Structure formats: C-alpha cells, structure tokens
C-alpha cells in the first residue's frame, strides 16, 4: 500500500512539473506586459486580457504562418506515414537477398544528425529551384528511418497465415498490403502520426534555412521574431506559444486511444 501511495505521489509531482509551465504560459499570455514580472507572481491574472493575441495578429502575419505550418506538417506527416508503411511492409513481410543487411544500413542513418545533411540538402534544393517554396520545405522530410523501424516492429507481430491465405486466393502484394496489413496497423500508424506531426510542427532549423520571405515562414520561425534585441514582449511570446501548441494537443487527443497501444506493439518499451 505504501509503495502504491508513493508511486501516485511521484506521478502527481511529475505531472505537475509538466502542467504548471503550460498553465504559466497561458497565464502570462493573458497579462499586460507590465504585469509579467509582478512580484509576487500570480498564476491567475487580476485583469485578464486578450490584447497580446490581438497585437500578435495585427503586427505579424500569424494566419499565414499558421496555415504554412499546418500545410507543411500535414504533407510531411502523410508522406512519412506512406513511405514508412510501404518500406516496413517490404522489410517485414517480403523476402529478398540482403534484406537484413539493407535494413541495418537503413537504421544506421538514424545515427547521422540532421545538421550534417543540411548543407547538401540546401545545395540540392537550390539546384532544383525549390528554395523559399513548399517543395523545399516538405520533400526532404517525406521519409523517416524511425518510422520504418516503428512500423516494421508492428508488422512483425501480425500472423503470416493472413497473407498466405490471401495469396492462395490470388491476391498480390499490393492487395495484401492495402486490404489486410495496413488496416491492422492503425495503432502504430497513429503513434507515428503523433510523433511525425510534432516533429514537423516544431521544426525550426530547416524552415529557417530554406525560407526567405514572410509569406513562407512557418510558425516556429515567425515566433522567433517576437524576441527583440533590446526588449521582449513576453506576453506576446507566450500568446504565440499557446497558439503553437493547440494543433499538437488536438492531434494527440484524436490519436490517444491508439498511441499507447502502438508503442507497445512496436517493441519500443522498457
């Protein structure tokens, strides 16, 4: 009993350590800039106001940046799910010479930091004429080795008898993949959807390098402009932060039923 109570206390403290900063961000966004550093600090503002949100949309093209981030994140997430699922099917359910060696080399790419590939990618995008464009923002990120590994682990748990019976009935690999295998991986796909969307939504370095105009800026790049050289309007910064986390929360709420199940099926656990 004592162990359970101690565990609940630790879990509660851990949850509070993550929730309190989010609540403080929302609270700061509802304050005037003069009250941000008020002592003693107050979690609930005396006179909450939405002025920081109004100024944010008046001074910056927030809707354009928000739509850019949504479009780029949807395209990247969809591309990563499609490419990862097809590659995972090939590695998990098909037999070809050197499959294990190719998979190990493919996994080894996860050890290469993205920063190492930025210069070659930038030169490639420039040669294609894709700088400051949606293809430049999305095409280099349409695949992920982690997604292939995640879905391959899930596909390995599906009984082979399902596809063998389908092959006996005359089905080909594409029919087996689209009608049998893919529908059985919804939980793992939901997990990859959440992780991919979060990564693409919060991506800062690549959009900063490949975009040049305000019309092509994504939200993380646009929010970095809010931090001034001599003065920072922290209530506006926090308002931008609140806006930036809303889509991630929405995606997670719609996918949470399958998220834990997908992680357990993938084999990524202690």
Q: Rounded CA gap, 114 and 232, in Å?
A: 30
- In the chain, at which residue ranges do the beta strands (DSSP E only) sit? none
Print pLDDT tens along the chain (270 aa): 778 888 888 888 888 788 888 888 888 888 887 777 777 777 777 778 888 888 888 888 888 999 999 999 999 999 999 999 999 998 988 888 888 888 888 888 888 888 888 999 999 999 999 999 999 999 999 988 999 998 988 888 888 888 888 888 888 888 888 888 888 888 888 888 888 999 999 999 999 999 988 889 998 988 887 765 446 777 888 888 888 888 888 887 777 766 666 555 554 444
- 58 vs 54, 62, 63, 236, CA distance in Å? 6, 8, 10, 11
pTM of structure: 0.84
What residue ranges do the domains of the chain occupy? 1-49, 53-266
Could you give the CA distance from residue 195 to residue 23 in angstroms, rounded to a whole number? 23
What pLDDT is stored for residue 201 in this prediction? 92
For the chain, the residue count is 270
Would you tell me which CATH number, out of the four given (3.40.190.10, 3.40.605.10, 1.10.3720.10, 1.20.272.10), belongs to the domain 53-266?
A: 1.10.3720.10
Q: How far is CA 192 from the centre of its chain?
A: 9
């Amino acid at each position: 009993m004592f162990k359970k109570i101690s565990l609940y206390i630790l879990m509660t403290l851990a949850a509070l350590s993550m929730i309190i900063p989010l609540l403080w961000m929302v609270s700061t966004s509802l304050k005037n800039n003069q009250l941000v550093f008020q002592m003693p600090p107050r979690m609930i503002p005396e006179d909450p106001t939405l002025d920081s949100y109004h100024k944010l949309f008046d001074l910056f093209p927030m809707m354009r940046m928000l739509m850019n981030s949504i479009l780029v994140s949807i395209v990247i997430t969809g591309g990563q799910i499609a490419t990862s699922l097809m590659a995972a099917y090939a590695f998990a359910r098909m037999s070809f010479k050197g499959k294990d060696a190719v998979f190990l080399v493919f996994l080894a790419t996860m050890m290469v930091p993205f920063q190492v590939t930025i210069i070659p990618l930038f030169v490639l995008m420039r040669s294609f004429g894709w700088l400051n464009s949606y293809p430049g923002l999305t095409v280099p990120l349409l695949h992920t080795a982690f997604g292939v590994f995640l879905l391959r682990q899930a596909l390995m748990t599906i009984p082979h008898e399902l596809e063998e019976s389908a092959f006996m009935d005359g089905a080909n690999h594409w029919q087996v993949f689209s009608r049998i295998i893919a529908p059985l991986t919804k939980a793992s796909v939901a997990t990859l959807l959440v992780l991919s969307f979060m990564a693409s939504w919060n991506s800062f370095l690549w959009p900063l390098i490949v975009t040049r105009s305000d019309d092509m800026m994504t939200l993380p790049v646009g929010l970095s402009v809010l931090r001034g050289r001599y003065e920072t309007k922290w209530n506006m910064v926090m308002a931008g932060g609140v806006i930036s986390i809303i889509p991630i929360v929405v995606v997670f709420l719609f996918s949470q039923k399958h998220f834990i199940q997908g992680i357990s099926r993938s084999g990524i656990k202690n």
